[in-house]
Amino acid sequence: MSIDPRFPLDRRTWLASTAAAAAGASLPASLGATPTDEPAAGWGRTRFAVNVEMWWGGVPFLDKVRKAHAAGFPAIEFWPWRGKPLDELRDLCRELSIEVAQFTGWGFVPGLNDPSHHDRFEKEIREGIEVAKRLDCRKMTVVGGNDIPGKSPEEMHAAIITGLRRVKPMVEDAGVMLILEPMNIRVDHKGHCLYGSVDAVRICREVDSPMVKINWDLYHMQISEGDLCGRLRDGFDQVGYLQLADHPGRNEPGTGEVHYNRVFQEAWRLGYRDYVGLECVPRNGAEKAIERIKAADVWTP
């Protein structure tokens, strides 16, 4: 989730405007639509969901889904559902046998870290569940919110826990997982209230639900804390979904400092079998990005 000069609208602005317009016991993180130890056709073992907001700029939304399918991706992910052609998207995904891995159900503004927004949060999650069912989607990202003047991180995190507990019975009944995404402060999201894995893991353990976990974005984690494999081991019981980009640059694996071959290997050894979201901007076009992603997905189980 970053402002990129090559990308016309950053996610933070989009989520804020969309939200304004809208006025423990754990499930194994290996649970996926088609969990398997068999390699994906044409790829390595990791199953990727391409973020169609950040790939193929200037192409109409549904055509991006077609491009994802043509490139061999088994799944897509996107940001807010409002404004999307949902019925057409559902029909196209079913026609192509491509899955919606996750979308954003609650953004930066209004903040989940403010209890006065929890009525609206409950309403939005209820509507998001219905959208998820329409799209045969199992997961929705939620964001903690921007800093509130005069409130400590502990107070804001307590409000996030309260809000997530409020919708916990709803998502458990629906079988739709909420995945809470921590950000990074050094590059992209100064002024947000939740960074790195430690607080996110503590929040989700306190909520204590198989349907409230973490959107573990390895890009944000690398910038915030490093030690990607060690931190992943420490908090793996609360991993609901993995996302990635390399750093610096927010581009595909193989363009920065992260040794993703080792990270993919560790996630596999820990038992992760669900999709890994490619929330990155291709540096030299989609074809070259796919080559680099395939090269990064070469490792020994």
Euclidean distance between CA atoms 21 and 19, whole angstroms: 5
Query: Position of tokens 């540096």?
Result: 283
Instruction: Check if the beta carbon of residue 243 is closer than 8 Å to that of residue 219.
Output: yes
The tokens for 298 are 């070469």
Domain membership of residue 239 (yes or no) is: yes
228 part of a folded domain:
yes
Question: What confidence score (pLDDT) does residue 43 get?
Answer: 75
Structure tokens at 83: 């404004």
On whether the CB atoms of residues 196 and 182 are closer than 8 A, the answer is yes
**Rounded (to 5) percent helix, strand, coil in the chain:** 40, 15, 45
The pLDDT value recorded for residue 214 is 99
Distances (CA, A) of 141 to 59, 132, 259: 24, 11, 26
**Cα-Cα-Cα-Cα dihedral of 30, 34, 36, 40, to 10°?**
-120
Question: Going residue by residue through the chain (301 aa), what tens digit of pLDDT does each one get?
Answer: 433 333 334 444 444 433 443 333 334 444 444 455 665 556 789 999 999 999 999 999 999 999 999 999 999 999 999 999 999 999 999 999 999 999 999 999 999 999 999 999 999 999 999 999 999 999 999 999 999 999 999 999 999 999 999 999 999 999 999 999 999 999 999 999 999 999 999 999 999 999 999 999 999 999 999 999 999 999 999 999 999 999 999 999 999 999 999 999 999 999 999 999 999 999 999 999 999 999 999 999 8
Give dist(CA 301, CA 237) in Å, integer.
Answer: 20
> Which structural domain range is residue 200 located in?
44-296
99 part of a folded domain: yes
Decide if 194 is inside a domain.
yes
* Residue 249 belongs to some domain of the structure: yes
In a domain, 56, yes or no: yes
Residue 95 lies in a domain: yes
HSE-up (13 A, CA, CB side) for residue 216:
30
Q: How many domains does the chain have?
A: 1
Residue 247 maps to a domain:
yes
Provide the pLDDT for residue 39.
53
Q: Where are the alpha helices (DSSP H) in the chain?
A: 11-21, 61-70, 86-96, 118-134, 153-174, 197-207, 218-224, 228-235, 260-270, 286-296
Domain with residue 146: its CATH number is: 3.20.20.150
For residue 287, count other CB atoms closer than 10 A to its CB: 9
Beta-carbon count within 10 A of 244 CB: 28
- What pTM was estimated for this model as a whole? 0.88
